[in-house]
Amino acid sequence: MTSTKIAFIGAGSVVFTQGLLADIFAFPELRNAHIALHDIDSERLTTAHGAARHIADRLTAEGNASEAAPGTGGLRTGTGPLITAHARRREALEGADFVINIVQVGMREATRTDFDVPARYGLRQTIGDTLGIGGIFRALRTFPLLKSLGEDIAEVCPDAWLLNYTNPMAMNVQYLARATGLTRVVGLCHSVYWTIRDLSDLLGVPHQEVTYQAAGVNHQAWVLRLEHQGADLYPRLDALVEQNPELRRRVRVDMYRRLGYYPTETSEHSSEYVPWYLHHDSEVERLRLPIGAYLGIVDENIAEYEGTRDALAAGTPLHVEGTMEYAPQIIHSITTGTPRTVYGNVPNHGLIDNLPATGTVEVPCLVDGSGVQPTRVGALPAQCAALNRGYLSMNDLVVRAALEDDPRSVRQAAMADPATAAALPVERIWDLCDDMVRAHGDLLQPGLRATLGH
């Protein structure tokens, strides 16, 4: 029986790769998988390869008994996984059943640009990876990679499922659908899962006993139903919010109180997708918003990577825990036929009635041996759909800019972005986009490198 082949694109995101591998190897049926690692950074690829070997040795049944697999450049741990490292992406993809994309184009330097240039215009961001100026330009520098990746998949592993973790999630999935024609694409994010875990902890109920439904768009979906043993938990949450003034100092709680449905992303993220918070000093203070927080996260990620690299060089054991991510669950369900429900980001196509058909929505998906099957939600509450439509309208302009090589659509997307429009007049928005184009340079497709002035 041929083992399942899983290709990691951007495997040099070593900490995330380790967590995913720990989840994969936790399933006995996947312990003989072929793990093909690819990254363009040779040091990071070597580190990822070493970390994968360590995890395989620790988590597979054969432990440390291993032997080289001739001709593969990889290592098979007894009857455990085959782990190979590839500088060439197409080699990693050859014959893959699943492709996990975790690439971050431009890494720390590009992310710092996404914050530093807008900050000179007085534009505040906290995370900058989904909407806003940061989200727009992260998408534009990621799209060329997605197009070439999609072309490679179509040629060397056309039946593979592409499981995308790279942000901005909704824009990337929409672009993949429009630019590559791939249909087996699902965007994955842990925000719904962890929102339910956090709410369960807050409410003092076991998360395994909570039933729920959420839907919307990535990082701005809504908990439509939250129940424990048949009882609605929202009245209980209302009482906690009323009793605890510190809870009311969270953006997502503030949005919940005003919109009636709890949003599925952190306050730092949520603050960037609406015009009400970041532009106002009083709201930044009231809601304790950490401006530029993501830069600290990036530095922490680099420190974790360097710690892993140094530990491997010293022969020090790595402490790796599972992450409960959706990709390993999807792989297991499709491979074994085990039914599960996960939350996925997919083209709308009638799943949510009052959102654009061409947009990417986040909905419950059934997974089994036949693949990933999104479920129809119907209509969202009107106020929730109104916010989501603005989000998707901006996404559509960014995707159009890339598909049509139209730099004006980039500026129009920034004009349509709620937080950017709240902070800057249109001339300054266009100037900012020009400066971002200059700063990112060759990371953008050639047709979008033009500066337009006012």
Spatial separation of the C-alpha atoms in residues 262 and 166, rounded to whole Å? 24
Spatial separation of the C-alpha atoms in residues 384 and 436, rounded to whole Å? 31
What digits encode the pLDDT tens for the residues 303-332?
Answer: 887 888 887 788 777 777 777 899 999 999
pTM for the whole structure: 0.92
What's the Cα-to-Cα distance from 222 to each of 260, 267, 301, 373, 385, rounded to whole Å? 9, 14, 29, 20, 10
Give yes or no for a contact between 132 and 274, defined as CB atoms under 8 angstroms apart. Answer: no
Report if residue 45 sits inside a domain: yes
Residue % of the chain over a pLDDT of 90: 80
Out of 80-84, 148-152, 171-175, pick the least confident.
80-84
Spatial separation of the C-alpha atoms in residues 362 and 189, rounded to whole Å? 9
What digits encode the pLDDT tens for the residues 265-274?
Answer: 999 999 999 9
Mean pLDDT, the chain, rounded, equals 91
User: Which of 107-120 are b and which e, b meaning 16 or more Cβ less than 10 Å from the residue's Cβ?
Assistant: beebbbbbbebbee
Q: What is the pLDDT of residue 2?
A: 65
71 pLDDT exceeds 70?
no
Q: How confident is the model at residue 65 (pLDDT cuts 50, 70, 90)?
A: very low
Q: Domain containing 153 — which CATH number?
A: 3.40.50.720
Q: What is the pLDDT of residue 69?
A: 40
Mean pLDDT to the nearest integer, 416-427: 96
Q: Is 190 helix (H, G, I), strand (E, B) or coil?
A: coil
118 pLDDT exceeds 90?
yes
Name the amino acid, one letter, at 336.
T
Report if residue 433 sits inside a domain: no
Angle 274-275-278 (CA atoms, 0-180°, nearest 5)?
95
Report if residue 30 sits inside a domain: yes
Tokens 């990933």 belong to residue: 372
Spatial separation of the C-alpha atoms in residues 98 and 417, rounded to whole Å? 34
Q: Is 203 helix (H, G, I), strand (E, B) or coil?
A: helix
Spatial separation of the C-alpha atoms in residues 14 and 428, rounded to whole Å? 38
Q: What is the pLDDT of residue 312?
A: 79
**By residue range, what is the domain housing residue 87?**
5-187
| Pair of tokens at residue 358 | 């061409």
Give Dmax over CA atoms of the chain in angstroms: 65
Comparison of pLDDT for 52 and 353, the residue scoring more: 353
Report if residue 75 sits inside a domain: yes
184 pLDDT exceeds 60?
yes
Q: How confident is the model at residue 107 (pLDDT cuts 50, 70, 90)?
A: confident
Mean pLDDT to the nearest integer, 405-420: 97
Report if residue 33 sits inside a domain: yes
Name the burial class of residue 382, with classes exposed (0-12), middle (13-18) and buried (19+) by CB atoms within 10 angstroms of its CB.
exposed
Name the amino acid, one letter, at 298.
V
Mean pLDDT to the nearest integer, 198-215: 96
Q: How confident is the model at residue 161 (pLDDT cuts 50, 70, 90)?
A: very high
The helix-helix angle for 426-440 and 132-156 (nearest 10°) equals 50
216 pLDDT exceeds 90?
yes
Name the amino acid, one letter, at 78.
G
Q: How confident is the model at residue 198 (pLDDT cuts 50, 70, 90)?
A: very high
- Measured in degrees and rounded to the nearest 5, phi and psi for residue 99 equal -125, 120
Q: Please count the structural domains in the chain.
A: 1
167 pLDDT exceeds 60?
yes
Strands (DSSP E) contained in 258-379 are 262-263, 340-347, 360-368, 371-374
Chain length of the chain: 454
Q: How confident is the model at residue 61 (pLDDT cuts 50, 70, 90)?
A: very low
Report if residue 163 sits inside a domain: yes
Q: What is the pLDDT of residue 72?
A: 40
Nearest by Cα to 198 from 224, 229, 223: 223
Catalytic residue among 190, 319, 332, 440: 190
What digits encode the pLDDT tens for the residues 353-411?
Answer: 999 999 999 999 999 999 999 999 999 999 999 999 999 999 999 999 999 999 999 99
Mean pLDDT to the nearest integer, 329-339: 97
Neighbouring residues of 382: CB distance < 8 A, sequence distance ≥ 6: 354
What digits encode the pLDDT tens for the residues 25-41?
Answer: 999 999 999 999 999 99
Q: How many CB atoms lie within 10 A of CB 69?
A: 14
Report if residue 298 sits inside a domain: no
Q: How confident is the model at residue 79 (pLDDT cuts 50, 70, 90)?
A: low
What digits encode the pLDDT tens for the residues 424-454?
Answer: 999 999 999 999 999 998 999 999 998 887 6
Q: What is the pLDDT of residue 323?
A: 79
Q: Tell me whether residue 269 is one of the annotated catalytic residues.
A: no
Report if residue 352 sits inside a domain: no
What digits encode the pLDDT tens for the residues 251-307?
Answer: 999 999 999 999 999 999 999 999 999 999 999 999 999 998 888 888 888 888 788
Q: How many CB atoms lie within 10 A of CB 124?
A: 23
Q: What is the pLDDT of residue 62?
A: 41
Map 11-58 to HEC letters. Answer: CCCHHHHHHHHHHHHCCHHHCCCEEEEECCCHHHHHHHHHHHHHHHHH
